[in-house]
Amino acid sequence: MVSFLVVTKLASAFVRRVQPTSVVEQVLSELRRSIVFGALKPGQEFSLRETATHLGVSTAPVREALRVLQGEGLILARRARSAVVAPMDVEDLHSIYRLRRQIEPAIAARSCLVITDAELRALAVMVDTIRDAKLSIDDIYEVHREFHLGLLRPGATAWDLRVLETLWQAAERYVRVGFGRLDPRPAEHERRGIAHDKLLDLFGTRDVDKARHAIEQHLADNEEIAQQAIKLGV
């Protein structure tokens, strides 16, 4: 028999202890957040070295993170020692939402049939946060994303989720700008709540056509809001 000690030594040779989050992942998360939240503005050029110094890391993880962000469409082709935040324009916005409309309604049709009542109740709690008049679009950023993920995840495959993640990240800064413009309006927060309540109600009917149409309409409304913000130069 192989002793426990030998097995442990063999495992140690192949499996190394890892940190929950790598430096590259942390840098990627912070740069993505800065772009989505507008700290790094569309068209802005920034230095890799200065960014690395600000984050307290070497340039290597910054460079690696920028490769990922370029693939997500958030960063344009980089110069030697700098990067440029991708501009925001209506054509880019429409391309993102055209792809979302091809994918999300089909997932919604599957999800409405298998999502549980308990999952719908949990999502209803998130809507209370989304409609909270004291919170801005930046404050509800994570909750809003988790709501839509929770709504579609029951009917999504692993590949669906990978593609959705990329599209949502590309769309998020447009959504933030569009809804940020509406934040000061007293009725806007309740309107958001009603829009998301409607999604839950229609998914709760377990009607494939209603769920599909609900997502299609939700995407169309959000694209229109973001489009208006771009046209106004917000």
The secondary structure of the chain as a DSSP string is ---HHHHHHHHHHH-----SS-HHHHHHHHHHHHHHTTSS-TT-EEEHHHHHHHHTS-HHHHHHHHHHHHHTTSBPPP-SSEEEBPP--HHHHHHHHHHHHHHHHHHHHHHHHH--HHHHHHHHHHHHHHT-TT--TTTTHHHHHHHHHHHHGGG--HHHHHHHHHHHHHHHHHHHHHHHHHTTSTTHHHHHHHHHHHHHHHHHTT-HHHHHHHHHHHHHHHHHHHHHHHHTT-
The fold of the 90-231 domain, in CATH, is Four Helix Bundle (Hemerythrin (Met), subunit A) (1.20.120)
Domain extent listing, the chain = 4-84, 90-231
Tens digits of pLDDT across the chain (234 residues) = 444 444 444 344 444 444 446 899 999 989 988 888 788 888 899 888 999 999 999 999 999 999 999 888 889 866 678 889 988 889 999 999 999 999 999 999 999 999 999 999 999 999 999 999 998 888 888 899 999 999 999 999 999 999 999 899 889 888 888 888 888 888 989 999 999 999 999 999 999 999 999 999 999 999 998 898 887 765
Q: What is the pTM of this model?
A: 0.78
CATH dotted code for 4-84: 1.10.10.10
